[in-house]
Amino acid sequence: MDHVLVKTDFQFPRQKKRYQGKVRDVYFIDERFLVMVATDRISAFDVVLPRGIPYKGQVLNQIASEFLNDTADIVPSWKIASPDPMVTIGYWCQPFPVEMIIRGYLTGSSWRSYRQGSREICGVKLSDGLREHQKFEEAIITPTTKAESGHDEDISRQEIIEGGLISEEDYLQIEHYTRELFRRGSQIAENRGLILVDTKYEFGKRNGRIYLIDEIHTPDSSRYFYLDGYEERFRSGAQQHQLSKEFVREWLMQQGFQGKEGQKIPFMPDSFVKEVSERYIELYERITGKDFILTDTLDVEKRVEHNIMAFLESIL
């Protein structure tokens, strides 16, 4: 429980700056490369929780690395190499200021909004009479703005283009990429006995070309249901058996926390931290079809720094 990586503060050759996201520490090298360290931090409701989750960073990084490889025929990605189980090094791209969220099912935050009476998400109209976890006839794209802190905000295609956030040509291209990536991810998930329910993608530009950046199809950016039993559970109105971070949000809500002002983050006992870790590892094994190899975490920070330095020396 104690050997987790929740913060880094490395100094690499030609390092220009360092950025700490909710769960990743990003190092900008020579305005050409990014070093992305997937830490063991976990966030929910846009709040970083106080305890790290063992092996979470390794799970996130290795799932993303697998899927970046598996989708390279659809869209080029920023990835160059993964020199450590918790690290990806790749090209720096100018990110587009929106996240492309695509939903195949009415669940999670979209269901909560629908249940409260909303019949439109990001300009997409929804019909009456839909039920929780119901599959859409066609997956819907519901973009959000990218907030460096606080909550992301829903935004429509029209608002993105008319507001000049992204050109119409580029936006239509990343919308196409979003649907193709979701289709590929859904096929891979189905082959593993899972349903890719919803996910998000981020894109950027480098030398005039669009790249897929950041993570892809991880439990932090995606929601998965078990395929077996989905129809029966849906017909009966039972909750779906899922592999995602949603159960963390549900646990927090049961403790009276939804990230609202004045609410205190509840204490996460060892038993719950262990359960979260085991669920992340289970998702890795289910979605990749590979056994998860536990890395030595006794001096994880030193290991990560050594492996990054060795790789940077080979490319700088």
- Structure confidence at residue 149 (pLDDT): 54
Give the domain CATH number at 29.
3.30.200.20
Domain boundary among 228, 244, 260: 244
What percent of the chain shows pLDDT beyond 70? 98
The answer as to whether 24 is a domain residue is yes
What percent of the chain shows pLDDT beyond 90? 87
153 and 179 fall within a common domain: yes
Task: Count up the domains in the chain and report the number.
Answer: 2
148 and 70 fall within a common domain: no
The answer as to whether 259 is a domain residue is no
- Structure confidence at residue 301 (pLDDT): 96
The answer as to whether 260 is a domain residue is no
The answer as to whether 199 is a domain residue is yes
Compute the distance between CA of residue 282 and CA of residue 310 in angstroms, rounded to an integer. Answer: 31
100 and 89 fall within a common domain: no
31 and 71 fall within a common domain: yes
The residue range of the domain holding 73 is: 15-94+269-315
- Structure confidence at residue 150 (pLDDT): 55
- Structure confidence at residue 246 (pLDDT): 79
In this prediction the pTM is 0.89
- Ranking 221-230, 235-244, 304-313 by mean pLDDT, the lowest is 235-244
- Structure confidence at residue 31 (pLDDT): 86
190 and 280 fall within a common domain: no
Q: What interhelical angle do 270-288 and 246-254 show, nearest 10?
A: 160
- Structure confidence at residue 1 (pLDDT): 53
- Structure confidence at residue 257 (pLDDT): 96
101 and 54 fall within a common domain: no
- Structure confidence at residue 244 (pLDDT): 76
What's phi and psi for 307, nearest 5 deg?
Answer: -70, -35
The answer as to whether 103 is a domain residue is yes
Give the domain CATH number at 130.
3.30.470.20
130 and 223 fall within a common domain: yes
100 and 183 fall within a common domain: yes
- Structure confidence at residue 42 (pLDDT): 95
Query: Residues 91-128: pLDDT tens digits?
Result: 999 999 999 999 999 998 899 999 999 999 999 999 99
pLDDT for residue 41 is more than 80:
yes
100 and 232 fall within a common domain: yes
Query: Residues 259-312: pLDDT tens digits?
Result: 999 999 999 999 999 999 998 898 899 989 999 999 988 899 999 999 999 999
- Distances from the Cα of 4 to the Cαs of 40, 180, 268, in angstroms? 6, 35, 15
Query: Residues 67-86: pLDDT tens digits?
Result: 999 999 999 999 999 999 99
Compute the distance between CA of residue 316 and CA of residue 312 in angstroms, rounded to an integer. Answer: 6
Mean of the per-residue pLDDT values for the chain? 94
The answer as to whether 154 is a domain residue is yes
The answer as to whether 210 is a domain residue is no
Which structure tokens are listed for 9?
Answer: 């503060």
Query: Residues 125-178: pLDDT tens digits?
Result: 999 999 999 999 999 999 999 866 556 799 999 999 999 999 999 999 999 999
84 and 112 fall within a common domain: no
104 and 59 fall within a common domain: no
118 and 181 fall within a common domain: yes
The answer as to whether 119 is a domain residue is yes
Domain boundary among 193, 228, 244: 244
pLDDT band at 193 (very low <50, low <70, confident <90, very high): very high
- Structure confidence at residue 3 (pLDDT): 87
Say how many residues make up the chain: 316
